[in-house]
Amino acid sequence: MTPHPESVEPVVPDDAGGLDPEALEQVIAAPGERFRHDYLEIRDLRVVFDGFVAVDGVDLTVTRGDLRFLIGPNGAGKTTIVDAITGLAPATGSVQFGRVDLLGKPSHRIVRAGVGRTFQTASVFDELTVLQNLDIAAGAGRGPATMLRRRRGVPPEVEAALETVGLTKVRDLPAGILAHGQKQWLEIGMLLVQDARLLLLDEPVAGMSQAEREETGLLLQRIGEQRTVVVVEHDMEFLRAFAASVTVLHQGRVLSEGTVAEVQADPRVVEVYLGSGTHGRGRGTTAAAAAPAASTEVE
């Protein structure tokens, strides 16, 4: 509601530390067997808002162990597809994950089927501490008896997630005063503790420094080896470095799909992206300031 006046001074330590890949191993130590049937299968997905066709018959298959990037100009329908999968936008067609039909289910049930997502603007609970944020994310399956009691200690999965996203030192600070990149990491941590098997990340590295992007990319790659990860991203450099496969969307349709190299060589993709096939040199620094409005970002 109202921003409370008590958190005016950002007291985040500078040496809050980066991500901890070793701790991630602990998080994803769970047997891979559990994920065997996990794959996302979207068939003929259509999303229409008041006559405007935002997504027009999209087919998409993402298997476990893939790190799929969704790219496309603004308005191509990337975020809308994520919204449709998670029940936020009404859609027709079929969306299956791990043999479970997702379309038509309320959002919280879709989440319980193993689907987790983040939002373009990091949305964490500002007034709650980092620890409380993660604890809530871990607790969707808790019974009333546990809910009505005070949290004692730190649950092990939360501890491991804190380590993984490098927020152990700031765990007792309100999440609202975290730096932007830390909030994004907190969101990834929340996905880990909620044990999402399909992770849908909407611009996870927006506003991060180059070093932070690097760390985040490696983290996502490692998670992607075990789980199904879909990333919506504008930042082409990030994509080139970490994408296992790419789906290019244009005006609500799939324009091209394949590895980074295949997609880059696709003449249709080149045409949509202002016809310039050359990768602009020296864009690294501008990309660091990638914002949702980065429509000028050209491949």
Partner 1 sequence: MSAPGTTSAPAALWRRPAVRVWIGVAVAAVVLFGLAPAVLSDFRLNLLAKFLCLAMVAVGIGLAWGRGGMLVLGQGVFFGIGGYLMAMHMKLSDAGPGGVPDFMLLYGDGVVPGWWEPFRSPLVTVLAILVLPAGTAALLGLAVFRRRVRGAYFAILSQALAAAFAILLVGQQKVTGGTNGLNGFRSFFGYDLADPVNKRMLYFIAAGVLIAMVVVVRLLMVSRYGELLVAVRDQENRVRFLGYDPANVKVVAYAIAACFAGIGGALFAPVVGIISPADVGVIPSIGFLVGVAIGGRATLLGPVLGAVAVSWAETGLSEQFPSFWTYFQGALFILVVAFLPQGFASLGGLWRRRRAAGAAPGEPPTDPGPTGTAPGHATADDGAGTTTTDDARTAGRTA
| Residue 177 in the binding site for partner 1 (CB under 8 A) | yes
Kindly state the helix (H) or strand (E) to which residue 212 belongs, with its residue range: helix 210-226
Q: Which amino acid is at 97?
A: F
| Residue 27 in the binding site for partner 1 (CB under 8 A) | no
Nearer to partner 1, 79 or 264 (CB): 79
Question: For partner 1, which residue of 108, 211, 261, 262 counts as binding (CB under 8 A)?
Answer: 108
Sheet with 198-202, side-by-side order of all strands? 115-117, 198-202, 228-232, 67-71, 245-250, 253-258
Kindly state the helix (H) or strand (E) to which residue 136 belongs, with its residue range: helix 130-138
CA distance 81 to 211: 29
Q: Which amino acid is at 16?
A: A
| Residue 33 in the binding site for partner 1 (CB under 8 A) | no
| Residue 46 in the binding site for partner 1 (CB under 8 A) | no
Nearer to partner 1, 51 or 172 (CB): 172
Question: For partner 1, which residue of 30, 128, 244, 270 counts as binding (CB under 8 A)?
Answer: 128
Name the minimum Å distance from CB 123 to partner 1. Answer: 5
Nearer to partner 1, 4 or 36 (CB): 4
Name the minimum Å distance from CB 160 to partner 1. Answer: 18
Binding part of the chain for partner 1, among 27-35, 63-71, 143-151, 205-213 by CB under 8 A, reads 143-151
Q: Would you list the DSSP string of 214-262? A: HHHHHHHHHHHHHSEEEEE---HHHHHHH-SEEEEEETTEEEEEE-HHH
| Residue 5 in the binding site for partner 1 (CB under 8 A) | yes
Give the list of residues 6+ apart from residue 233 with CB closer than 8 angstroms, or none. Answer: 69, 70, 71, 203, 204, 205, 239
Name the minimum Å distance from CB 2 to partner 1. Answer: 6
Q: Which amino acid is at 206?
A: A
| Residue 146 in the binding site for partner 1 (CB under 8 A) | yes
Question: For partner 1, which residue of 54, 190, 260, 269 counts as binding (CB under 8 A)?
Answer: 190
Name the minimum Å distance from CB 268 to partner 1. Answer: 34
| Residue 120 in the binding site for partner 1 (CB under 8 A) | no
